[in-house]
Amino acid sequence: MATCRQESGFTLIEILVVVVIVATIASMTLLSIGIVGDDRDLDTERKRLASLLEVARDEALMQGRELGVEFTTSAYRFVEFDPFTQQWSEIRGDDLFRQRTLPEGMEFELYIDDKRITLNQDLAEFDDPDDKDPVSKVQSYLPHLFVFASGEATAFEIRVHRFNPDAQLAMQGDVLGNIEFDVEEEL
Q: Where are the domains of the chain?
A: 12-185
Is the separation of the CB atoms in 115 and 72 below 8 Å?
A: no
Q: Which fold has domain 12-185?
A: minor pseudopilin epsh fold (3.55.40)
The pLDDT of residue 83 is above 50:
yes
Read off the pLDDT of residues 140-178 as tens digits, 9 standing for 90 and up: 789 999 999 998 999 999 999 888 778 889 999 999 888
Closest CA relative to residue 149, chosen from 58, 59, 87, 61: 61
